[in-house]
Amino acid sequence: MPEVDRAAASRAAVAARRARAVVKDAVRSGERSALEVAEQAWGAPDGPEAGMRVAELLGTLRGLGPRRVDAALEMLGISPVKRLGGLGHRQRTRLRAWLRAREAGAGRGRLVVLAGPTAVGKGTVSGYIRQHHPDVLLSISATTRAPRPGEQNGVHYYFVDDAGFDALIERGELLEWAVVHNASRYGTPKPPVEAALAAGRSVLLEIDLAGARQVRAAMPDAVLVFLLPPSWEELVRRLLGRGTESPEEQARRLETARVELAAQDEFDELVVNDDVRRAAQEVVDLLIVPSGGARPPGRAGSAR
């Protein structure tokens, strides 16, 4: 490299280091949050934030000495030399969830909303989580729809009549509620959710889009996850393959799915349901509240 270029390169490196030092100072002083810095890095790959090592960012956080930074990086499956801009999608998802949880206050439960189009497999994913992660409270909704064969009151839903549902609304006992598929009313009972969160337990709601929007408004800390089908064709296949609804009902659900798919941009996280286990694990990663009783994410060792 010619002398002048070398000098220019070293000046640029010094300037970049200075810019990163300014960012670090801003995080240390509380002027900027670590989460906001990370989001900035992912939105602007040429900025000073993107060039910052994840270890440097974590090292600016209160109570995080070098040993705890190393432990956190290991738990997140992120190499100590990685820069923010160089993280893969899953690493970003985990780091975002981790920073968010820290900022929300460690020790409190996390509320995650799982929404998505009809028949995308929300029930299968949440069922998997129910079975493999009993520490997570899977909220049981109240509904005015009739039980399907095999469905039990108090297990799959609380089946109530219209008057019963009205009473829940009047008593302010629903965190959110919506009319789904222009047919029945569904709502999330508030007391169990609040009790679980207060006790530090994470809660998963599997609800429709209108309900998800209400939760966002009522509880801004909630993480909204949108479950995507591998493709539209696959979604149609799953939708029509279930065969439990009349043709009119199927057409109605297809239209609902079309509208709901368009809403994915409003969500914090997108998870593709091509493999139930993996999709469920991604959702579980978002439910993790790190700190004292932290549980490492399942895929920590296999991070990209």
CA distance 205 to 252: 23
Q: If binding is defined by CB under 6 A, does position 23 make contact with ligand 5GP?
A: no
Of the candidate spans 39-47, 170-178, 216-224, 226-234, the one that interacts with ligand 5GP by CB under 6 A turns out to be 170-178
Residue closer to ligand 5GP (CB basis): 98 or 165: 165
**Which 133-162 residues touch ligand 5GP, going by CB under 6 A?**
141, 145
CA distance 256 to 122: 15
The answer to whether the beta carbons of residues 239 and 257 sit under 8 Å apart is yes
CA distance 35 to 97: 9
Tell me which H or E stretch contains 225.
strand 223-228
Q: If binding is defined by CB under 6 A, does position 215 make contact with ligand 5GP?
A: no
Beta-strand relationship, 269-272 and 223-228: parallel
Of the candidate spans 3-11, 18-26, 201-209, 222-230, the one that interacts with ligand 5GP by CB under 6 A turns out to be 201-209
Q: If binding is defined by CB under 6 A, does position 125 make contact with ligand 5GP?
A: no
Residue closer to ligand 5GP (CB basis): 145 or 299: 145
Q: If binding is defined by CB under 6 A, does position 207 make contact with ligand 5GP?
A: yes
Output the smallest distance, CB 134 to ligand 5GP, in A. Answer: 20
Q: How many CA atoms lie within 13 A of 191 on its CB side?
A: 6
Q: What is the DSSP string of 103-165?
A: HH-TTS--EEEEE-STTSSHHHHHHHHHHH-TTSEEPPPEESSPPPTT--BTTTBEE--HHHH
In the list 94, 102, 110, 122, the residue contacting ligand 5GP (rule: CB under 6 A) is 122
CA distance 304 to 294: 22
Residue closer to ligand 5GP (CB basis): 227 or 288: 227
Q: If binding is defined by CB under 6 A, does position 91 make contact with ligand 5GP?
A: no
Site string for ligand 5GP, 101-120 (x = CB under 6 A): -----------------x--
Q: If binding is defined by CB under 6 A, does position 187 make contact with ligand 5GP?
A: yes
Output the smallest distance, CB 242 to ligand 5GP, in A. Answer: 9
Q: If binding is defined by CB under 6 A, does position 98 make contact with ligand 5GP?
A: no
Q: Which residues 6+ apart lie within 8 Å of 28 measured at CB?
A: 60
Comparing every residue's Cβ against ligand 5GP, the nearest one is 211
**Which pair of structure tokens corresponds to residue 213?**
């929007």
Q: If binding is defined by CB under 6 A, does position 282 make contact with ligand 5GP?
A: no
Q: If binding is defined by CB under 6 A, does position 261 make contact with ligand 5GP?
A: no
Q: What is the DSSP string of 184-206?
A: EEEEEEHHHHHHHHHTT--EEEE
In the list 84, 180, 271, 283, the residue contacting ligand 5GP (rule: CB under 6 A) is 180
Tell me which H or E stretch contains 228.
strand 223-228
Which positions touch ligand 5GP (CB under 6 A)? 118, 122, 141, 145, 176-178, 180, 186-188, 206-208, 210-211
